[in-house]
Amino acid sequence: MTTSWRLRRADLAARGDAPALVGAGPALSYRELGRAAGALAAALGQAGLRGGDRVGVLSAARGHDEAVAVAGALLAQGTVVPLDPSAPPLRLAEVLAGCGCRAIIHDAAAAERLGAPGLEGQLARFELDPAGRLVARRGSAPAVAAADPEIACILHTSGSTGRPKAIPIRWEGLAAFTAWMIELTGLGPGDRVLRSAELVFDLAWFDHVATWRAGATLCTVARRELGLPSALLAAAQRLRPTVVYAVPALYSRLVAALGPGRNLDASLRVACFAGEVFAPRELRELARRAPGARLFNLFGPTETNVCTFHEVDRSRLDRESELPIGVACPYARCALVAEDGSGAVIAGPGTGELVVEGPTALGGRVATGDRVERAADGLFYFRGRKDRMLKIRGYRIEPGEIEAALCAHPRVREAAVLAREHRKLGTVLHGFVALDPGKDEASEREMRAFVAGRLPAYMVPERIRVREALPRTSTGKIDYLLLAAEAC
């Protein structure tokens, strides 16, 4: 299917000297962004890449190079495969191979990691400096079958099979989502969008694509600044973003860094949040510290992108104990399906599995696995997951993948992973392993190091307890309730 919009160099150049990138590097105008991205696209073409070919992007420092890499790959009509800088080499190799990537664009900080065992495979490699200039090219693109040029990017989430789950994002859906977000937020020239979420998140594709489509300015922030509340606040004060789309934890870090009696810069006019539930107390605090900002709760799994939304009513915040996920986005058809196996659609108030259809839904229709209630006023409320899927600090995590990684240890017979709330750390992962009889003991430190070599840092359990055996229910299944009590 041909889409009505996608990123073109002519559109970037037409915006001339308007600022396209500021922040983690020298400011770039739209003309300069078009020139840098165009040069990269030409280099990709010279390496033999065709429309639809998969191109990995890995920016360890996250300067302007990340934005130029995304723009260059898209201008070359490639499909961007974002790579998680926190992932170990084995995970990166798995994603690159699974997607059939022919090239990878990276910064200097990532170059050393790409020489690790498992990543020596033949790929065309393009290194950018922090300003986004192409400084080195090596290797050649392997021969692969032609791929679908209508896929803009492929994101990966935790998979229940123990392997990363690939989710292709089509241009049709990305165009529908960004057009709606531009209208919702009033995004346009003169706006400054804070670059917050990692590129592996669907949130980041608003940052890049919607910003450039609207002619706004993308404010890039170095990765080291994002993790430290004081550095994050300093960056926000320096860049003065007008629109932010981030996980609740980012806003909480900003507010915590402010200290008592201070507000966020008055330039902030729209704050969107997604990825996890925003605790009511912390949301109320954000509302107090950003008195002039419109607040939007956006909801949807990666397979559907945002499918429901709700604008926060400040006048009701102090009285509300929970926040609705709102109503369906204009491009999404949202239905609640009864959980009794009948497949019946719930027409009025009630609770069921959220099923989404539309251009942003993977394959056109997604049964999300989310339990959602429709209240009498027509608003949707999130009621948890049907399966064991977790969201921690915005990352979607399938505990089964962590269990599979633990079971890969030569001395582990079985494993269980669950989440518990910690007073200071929030939601944390706890792991339990049972060892094979007669084999040497294994320490918690050894287990955590083993998992850290296979999974991103956010998937490594805070605690891993070694047991002789895991408790069982009467049906012989692992008793997660007993383990949860032990984890308290």
In-domain check, residue 391: no
Residues 6+ apart with CB under 8 A from 359: 170, 172, 173, 175, 176, 331
Of 72, 80, 71, residue with least CA distance to 52: 80
Sheet holding 380-385, edge to edge: 345-346, 333-337, 350-357, 365-374, 380-385
Q: Report the predicted TM-score, pTM, of the whole model to 2 decimal places.
A: 0.86
Q: Look up the CATH number of the domain holding residue 188.
A: 3.40.50.12780
Please indicate, yes or no, whether residues 193 and 253 belong to a single structural domain of this protein.
yes
Domain that holds residue 425: 398-487
Decide which of 133, 149, 165 is a domain's last residue: 149
Same domain, 87 and 223: no
Q: How far apart are CA 156 and CA 202, in angstroms?
A: 10
pLDDT at 281: 81
Do 300 and 357 sit in the same domain of this protein? Answer: yes
CB 253 within 8 A of CB 236: no
Residue for token pair 């998992």: 451
Per the domain annotation, does 139 fall within a domain?
yes
Nearest partner of 324 among 356, 288, 299, judged by Cα: 299
Task: Tell me, yes or no, whether 295 and 411 share the same domain.
Answer: no
Question: Is residue 168 a part of any domain in this protein?
Answer: no
| 118: Cβ contacts below 8 Å, ≥ 6 apart | 89, 90, 92, 93
Residue 391 bridge partners (DSSP): 396
In a domain, 350, yes or no: yes
The SS3 call for residue 72 is helix
Tokens 């040497």 sit on residue: 440
Residue type, 300: G
The answer to whether residues 81 and 106 touch, using CB atoms and an 8 Å cutoff, is: no
Q: Clarify whether residues 246 and 267 are in a common domain.
A: yes
Cα 475 to Cα 467: distance, rounded to the nearest angstrom: 20
**Quick one: 211 and 253 in the same domain?**
yes
- Per-residue pLDDT in tens (0 to 9) along the chain, 488 residues: 345 789 999 999 999 999 999 998 899 999 999 999 999 999 999 999 999 999 999 999 999 999 999 999 999 999 999 999 888 888 898 999 999 999 999 999 998 778 766 666 679 999 999 999 999 999 889 889 889 999 999 999 876 666 789 999 999 999 999 999 999 999 999 999 999 999 999 999 999 999 999 999 999 999 889 878 999 999 999 999 999 999 888 998 899 899 888 999 999 999 999 988 888 888 999 999 999 999 999 999 999 999 999 999 999 998 877 899 999 999 999 999 998 889 999 999 999 999 999 999 999 999 999 999 999 999 999 988 888 788 888 888 888 889 888 988 988 988 999 999 887 778 899 999 988 776 778 899 999 999 999 999 999 999 999 998 889 875 567 888 899 998 87
CA distance 100 to 141: 11
Of the residues 116, 149, 182, which one is the last residue of a structural domain? 149
Instruction: Determine, yes or no, domain membership for 10.
Output: no
* Count of other CB atoms within 10 angstroms of residue 238: 13
Residues 225 and 284 in one domain: yes
Question: CA 252, CA 221: separation in Å to the nearest integer?
Answer: 17
pLDDT at position 101 is 95
Collapsing DSSP to helix, strand or coil, 353 comes out as strand
The reply to whether 310 and 188 lie within a common domain is: yes
Tell me the β-bridge partners of 100: none
Give a yes or no: residue 155 inside a domain: no
Residue 35 DSSP code: H
Inter-residue contact 357 to 364 (CB < 8 Å): yes
Kindly state whether residues 232 and 379 are assigned to the same domain.
yes
Yes or no: say if 314 and 269 are a contact pair by the CB < 8 Å rule: no
| CATH number reported for the structural domain that contains residue 424 in this entry | 3.30.300.30
The number of folded domains in the chain is 3
In a shared domain, residues 235 and 326: yes
Q: Report the Cα 49 to chain-centroid distance in Å.
A: 26
Query: Can you give the CATH number for the domain in which 107 is found?
Result: 3.40.50.980
Cα gap 384→93, rounded to integer Å: 33
In a domain, 195, yes or no: yes
Residues 266 and 217 grouped into a single domain: yes
Domain boundary among 337, 355, 385: 385
The Cβ of residue 440 has, within 10 Å, a number of other Cβ atoms equal to 8
* Structure tokens, 422: 């910690």
Does residue 392 fall inside a structural domain? Answer: no
Same domain, 208 and 327: yes
